[in-house]
Structure 1
């Protein structure tokens, strides 16, 4: 909900400064979560932690873009993707091990020394940057933040209350109306938070559509597959995390290669190949999954899907950032991050609803009956993402700077 707002704050007040603030908030909230005496305090600390992460996520990508020459950005994003892959691969293992053998509090305590170590490095090693003439759009911020909150609130309540429940329908309708008002605001004002002209760029609109669809299909499927390994395979959380490593850990090996290839042959073809492999991995899983399927039979699907995911992230980020002007890279990163997260939330809700309608947790066979059609829908979502990416131009070109308007008062604060 705050990803676009965090990006706008960085553009206005300085990206390094806001990244430092977000890191400080995240680190402090991690300590508060570890010290929480009950569930209410833990939820509040996690909300603050999420706000800090929402500031860091889009700004971090913008800082990396500003610090790297265009001809080397694919390689830089590949390294960035490998580091992210390391975090994704080791996070569940470390978190599961701490939960099983020590205490859940240490999941949050672990963030504190890392954050304290990073704070001086950010100050000393990162250069400050901002978008020239950036202004905060208070009305747009309010509309998009509350609209996304309504949509996300609705989808996270779908599995518990159903699509036709009052709270879900209220969230969807109110959120949709607020996002519609946000789009109208962006089209009618001089300096909106998100200039809609960005979406006239085929590279920008295509890769953002691909990101939303990819997160819808992939993360909805991963959510169910991790439960399959535990509920049907009988593995403990740490054991399930280890068996997901061929998927999650592949990024450490493939992401640098993906970045290198993006610099040499262009990002679009690498992104499309990655999405095709992801769809193939999910399709293979849907064809082979059963109540007694051995892990060795699942392994090819995990490797193919993981390779595809690793090929996607670095070139996709490079395409987004190269499709806009340097002054617009902050808000472009924020919009891309928001659409991805929205896609992931929708994927978990929709695929979870399909699972609940066709199967359940009553027995291994019931679980398989539910997850199989969900995987097919996930594969279809990722395949559509490949189509959206293929429609983008081979090499993104940033649009020309818009001509300054005359005799109009700028909107916003």
Structure 2
């Protein structure tokens, strides 16, 4: 779409997708009467404000200002305030008791790392294709599709493994697949091509898909029946939070990192000290700076997957017959 129209058209895709979702809800979701209760508007506002401030703090990463500390401190303070407020409120929008459950907390922590690593990959791959590899927007999207098309395949396999084996087996396997793939992708340069590129992308996508079922299952099944609806919403939100924090930090740190890489690359006419037209040497140095930047992006994603193994060890498949919160 960006190849034939403009990047703004991407947002129009949400309209037909949203209409299909609304139609699906109207015709497929059974009509049930909810229990009347008060909505926690104050708690909702505090959580939204906290997320906004932490996101703003992440967007300041790589800069030399004190706004990073200020924004993150305000966001954390708001979360602490929500915790204190929820102890006096029986109708909190996010039940604090859920986070006293170790498997649930571990699943959400893992999902944060998952979301951050996923968004880093989804942004870096087409960006590298469009710049270092001199590809078009369409080519960048088609190359990224090699990874995304493997995600549902991994998700189906992860669901089957989660049903028959310990949840940690598909989760850790997915993290290892992603770590290895991103590690190889961090060695990409302007000469990378098929079949190696496709191998790396398919392995990464399969790994990301493999983790979906065990993370979600651990979060929902480890919560009590009365909180399972909230648990499902929170575990989904944690992935998007990881993506939000990841892209905010990546864009801010990446721009600063690229400026640092450009230091010392001069565009001068030899022997004159006067800035002139780009030379082949200058273009090669610029490409190398881009390669180094994308190398760092992929390495960050690989490290996040490696760190994710630690909370993954706490994913335990509970017995459905027993309420773990009782």
CA offsets, 1:158-180, max 9 Å, x none? 57xx26254x5543232222122
Q: What's the TM-score once normalised by structure 2's chain length?
A: 0.80
Q: 2: CA distance between counterparts of 1:114 and 1:189?
A: 37
Q: Is it true that 1:164 corresponds to 2:65 in the alignment?
A: yes
Q: CA deviation at 1:205?
A: 1.1
Q: 2:157 aligns with which of 242, 245, 257?
A: 257
Q: Is it true that 1:306 corresponds to 2:205 in the alignment?
A: yes
Show the counterpart of 1:347.
Answer: 246
Question: Contact 1:258–1:311 at 8 Å: present in 2 too?
Answer: yes
Q: CA deviation at 1:233?
A: 0.8
Cα separation, partners in 2 of 1:144 and 1:366, compared to 1, 3 Å: same
Show the counterpart of 2:44.
Answer: 141
Question: Contact 2:61–2:253 at 8 Å: present in 1 too?
Answer: no
Cα separation, partners in 2 of 1:366 and 1:344, compared to 1, 3 Å: same
Q: 2: CA distance between counterparts of 1:137 and 1:125?
A: 28
Q: Which runs of structure 2 are paired with 1:19-98 in the superposition (5 Å)?
A: 98=1
Between 1:273-282 and 1:189-198, the stretch displaced more is 189-198
Question: Contact 2:98–2:227 at 8 Å: present in 1 too?
Answer: no
Q: 2:2 aligns with which of 68, 93, 99?
A: 99
Q: Which structure has the larger Rg over C-alpha atoms? A: 2
Q: 1: CA distance between counterparts of 2:232 and 2:33?
A: 14
Q: 1: CA distance between counterparts of 2:33 and 2:51?
A: 25
Q: Which runs of structure 2 are paired with 1:7-406 in the superposition (5 Å)?
A: 98-102=1-5, 107-128=10-31, 135-156=38-59, 158=61, 162=63, 164=65, 166=67, 168-286=68-186, 288-359=187-258, 363-395=286-318, 399-400=323-324
Cα separation, partners in 2 of 1:347 and 1:114, compared to 1, 3 Å: closer
Show the counterpart of 1:50.
Answer: none
Q: CA deviation at 1:280?
A: 1.4
Q: 2: CA distance between counterparts of 1:310 and 1:151?
A: 27
CA offsets, 1:6-29, max 9 Å, x none? xxxxxxxxxxxxxxxxxxxxxxxx
SS in 1 for 2:94: coil
Q: 1: CA distance between counterparts of 2:22 and 2:60?
A: 36
Question: Contact 1:354–1:374 at 8 Å: present in 2 too?
Answer: no
Question: Contact 1:204–1:323 at 8 Å: present in 2 too?
Answer: yes
Cα separation, partners in 2 of 1:396 and 1:226, compared to 1, 3 Å: farther
- Could you tell me which runs of 5 or more consecutive residues in structure 1 were left unpaired when the two chains were aligned: 1-97, 403-413
Cα separation, partners in 2 of 1:332 and 1:300, compared to 1, 3 Å: same
Q: 1: CA distance between counterparts of 2:293 and 2:8?
A: 34
How many residues end up aligned between the 2 structures? 301
CA offsets, 1:327-346, max 9 Å, x none? 21222223223322222222
**How big is the alpha-carbon RMSD for the aligned residues of Structure 1 and Structure 2?**
2.8
Structure ranking higher in helix proportion: 1
- Could you tell me which runs of 5 or more consecutive residues in structure 2 were left unpaired when the two chains were aligned: 263-285
Q: CA deviation at 1:211?
A: 0.5
